[in-house]
Amino acid sequence: MPLTIKMTVEDKAKGCARLAGAAVYVWHCDREGRYSLYSQGVTNENYLRGVQVTDDAGLVTFSSIFPACYSGRWPHIHFEVYPSVDTATNSANTIATSQIALPQDACATVFATDGYSQSADNVFGDDGGAHQLGKVTGSVAQGFVVELTVPVEVA
């Protein structure tokens, strides 16, 4: 299921002005609930991960798939924000680490489609992820878009 991820990064220290030139790294699980590089069977594969640099409006856009879920976790997309692409090589340089939680109604719609059967019966635990709830629009026929504004503090 296609998913476009749109994130707008704002600098809280500058009155939430849009932050241009920041690097955003996102990663999430596949339709089976596996993470490339880490989960059994896909440790030698690198997919559903990427870095983009915010434009002048503080926006990054990723083309991906709707992530599945795994037992007890709310469906989500991880992200880290770095001051620049040059600093995105070391996690010690992050200025924000969080996740985008996906709304339950959108998840239920996607998880009822072919390929997501393992997610359909998951009981979503409130693991705190719902506090960064993304706004999801779209449909099964046309794909979905998730949007989130991310306020950060640049040192």
- pTM equals 0.91
- Picking from 151, 134, 118, the residue whose alpha carbon sits closest to that of residue 3 is 134
- For the chain, the domains span 2-152
Mean pLDDT of 112-120: 82
Mean pLDDT of 129-134: 71
Domain 2-152 is in which class? mainly beta
pLDDT digits (tens, 9 = 90+) for 61-84: 999 999 998 777 778 999 999 999
Mean pLDDT of 96-124: 83
- Please answer whether residues 128 and 73 qualify as being in contact, where contact means their C-beta atoms are separated by less than 8 angstroms: no
pLDDT for the residue 70: 78
Measured distance CA(87)–CA(92) in Å, rounded: 9
Judged against a pLDDT cut of 70, whether residue 44 lies above it is answered with yes
pLDDT digits (tens, 9 = 90+) for 31-41: 988 999 999 99
